[in-house]
C-alpha cells in the first residue's frame, strides 16, 4: 500500500476544515501507520478511529487535527497530554511544542508508544504511568493541556495545572457522548468554548470517572 499517497489524500480532505498550516504540515509527514497494529494498518489513513488494544483507540485524524489546532501551540510551550495511547497525538504535539509530558494509565500502551516514538527519534517527550490523580502536578504548570479521554466535567485538578493564558482541550459529557471543550485560563478564571460533539473513551481517575 502507498501510505504516502494515502496520507496526502487524508490531509487534503481535512484541510477544508483545518486552517492551521503547521498542524497540517506535521500530520502530512508523521507515519500514522506505525502507531497501529498490522491488522488495521491498511486503514491508517481513513478518517476514523481505530482500535489499539486494551479497549482504547487512536482517534479520528480530523478530531486530532481539530484538537491540536485549538490548542494554539506556537513552539515554546510545555504541553501535558492525558492519554498517551498509541503515541500518535503525542508525536504531533512534540513536533509543535518545546516539550511534551504525557501520562497513560495502561502500562503496555505507554511502553509500546515509547518504543515507537524512540524509533522515530523524538527527544522532547516524557511518558509516565498515570496515578489516581489527573495529570502530573510535579511538572506543572503547563502552557497547554490535551485530554484524549472524556470527563464528566472540567476537572479542577487540571485547571490548577494550566498556566495563566493557557488552553486546555477536553471532551466533557457522559461516558458515551461528549462535547469537545476549549478551556482558556485568564485572570485566574476560565472561559469555555464548545467545539462540537465527539466520542472518546472515559477519563479515569480522581475528579473524573471511576473505574
Supply the pTM of this predicted model.
0.94
Q: What is the mean pLDDT of the chain?
A: 94
Cell 480532505 -> residue = 13
At 50-85, the pLDDT tens digits run 999 888 889 999 999 999 999 999 999 999 999 999
Nearest to 41, CA basis, from 94, 88, 97: 88
* pLDDT at residue 206 is higher than 90: no
> Are the CB atoms for 211 and 190 separated by under 8 Å?
no
Active site amino acids: 59
Cell 477544508 -> residue = 16
At 133-151, the pLDDT tens digits run 899 999 999 999 999 999 9
Bridge-based pairing state of the strands 78-82 and 56-58? unpaired
Question: How does residue 207 score in pLDDT terms, banded at 50, 70 and 90?
Answer: confident
Give, in words, the CATH class of 60-198.
Answer: alpha beta
At 174-200, the pLDDT tens digits run 998 999 999 999 887 899 999 999 989
At 117-131, the pLDDT tens digits run 999 999 999 999 998
Quote the pLDDT of residue 110. Answer: 97
Amino acid at each position: 500500500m502507498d501510505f504516502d499517497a494515502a496520507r496526502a489524500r487524508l490531509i487534503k480532505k481535512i484541510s477544508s476544515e483545518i486552517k492551521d498550516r503547521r498542524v497540517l504540515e506535521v500530520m502530512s509527514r508523521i507515519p500514522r501507520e506505525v502507531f497501529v497494529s498490522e491488522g488495521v494498518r491498511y486503514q491508517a489513513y481513513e478518517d476514523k478511529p481505530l482500535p489499539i488494544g486494551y479497549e482504547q483507540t487512536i482517534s479520528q485524524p480530523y478530531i486530532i487535527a481539530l484538537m491540536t489546532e485549538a490548542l494554539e501551540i506556537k513552539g515554546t510551550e510545555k504541553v501535558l497530554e492525558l492519554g498517551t495511547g498509541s503515541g500518535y497525538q503525542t508525536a504531533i504535539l512534540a513536533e509543535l511544542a518545546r516539550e511534551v509530558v504525557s501520562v497513560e494509565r495502561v502500562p503496555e500502551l505507554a511502553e509500546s508508544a515509547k518504543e515507537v516514538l524512540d524509533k522515530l527519534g523524538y527527544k522532547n517527550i516524557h511518558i509516565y504511568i498515570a496515578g489516581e490523580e489527573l495529570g502530573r502536578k510535579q511538572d506543572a504548570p503547563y502552557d497547554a493541556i490535551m485530554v484524549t479521554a472524556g470527563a464528566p466535567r472540567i476537572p479542577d485538578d487540571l485547571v490548577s495545572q494550566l498556566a495563566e493564558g493557557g488552553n486546555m482541550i477536553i471532551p466533557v459529557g457522559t461516558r458515551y457522548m461528549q462535547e469537545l471543550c476549549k478551556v482558556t485560563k485568564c485572570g485566574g478564571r476560565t472561559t469555555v468554548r464548545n467545539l462540537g460533539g465527539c466520542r472518546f473513551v472515559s477519563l479515569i481517575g480522581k475528579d473524573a470517572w471511576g473505574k
